[in-house]
Structures are given as C-alpha cells and as structure tokens.
Amino acid sequence: MQSARSDHCLLLLNHMEADTCAREWLQNQGNCYAYFDQKLTWHEAEIECQSYGRGAHLASILTKAETLLVAEHISTYQREFSNVWIGLHDVRQKAFSFLLFLDYKC
C-alpha cells in the first residue's frame, strides 16, 4: 500500500510549547497537530512533515482521547470522509508500526 496516495496527511510536532503552534494548528499536551490537504504517498507525507523541522512526523495517535480530539480537528477541514495518513504504517504487511516503533499486531 506504499504507492497508494491519500488526499490528506496529519502532521505532529512533538513536545512543542503552546505558544509555538501556528494559529491554525491544534495544540494539545505539548504537541502541535496540523492537517494538510495534499495527495501524497505515506512516505512522501512523512518527508513533507519532516520538512517542518523541530521533530515533525506524521502523527502517532496513541489514546482514545487523542483519537477523538484529532478526529474533531480533521472534521473541521473535511466536508466528506476521506483517508488521512498518520504515523501508523504497515511495513511488512503483517504488523503495523508507529514511527515511535510500537508494534501492533493485526
């Protein structure tokens, strides 16, 4: 699925101070989240996120509360449902990994 393109990606800047998040970005618990409307592969989206520097990566969503918060943020930009790249990635097509290297078996 690496060659598939998604219309959107979700950027996460880790451990940033609240006053350093851009105005349109979502700030939560020292993280900044941004939603981008670009048609990219997962790898292209990750490279785009890294181009923002300061530890930016595709978002790794680790809790239900974070999932709900981010989903609400994304819904303000999307008029209808579409796919969004996050840090969860099926490297071997047998298990999913976040960029934080936490493995999730399917």
72, two tokens? 């609400």
Note the pLDDT of residue 9.
Answer: 54
User: How sure is the predictor about 2, in pLDDT bands with cuts at 50, 70 and 90?
Assistant: very low
Chain segment 20-75, per-residue pLDDT in tens: 777 878 888 878 888 877 788 888 888 888 887 777 888 887 788 888 888 888 78
Cα angle: 51, vertex 102, 96; to 5 degrees: 85
Note the pLDDT of residue 103.
Answer: 38
Residues 6+ positions from 11 with CB-CB distance below 8 Å: 33, 34, 35, 36, 48, 49, 52, 56, 57, 58, 59
Residues 6+ positions from 84 with CB-CB distance below 8 Å: 6, 8, 9, 10, 35, 74
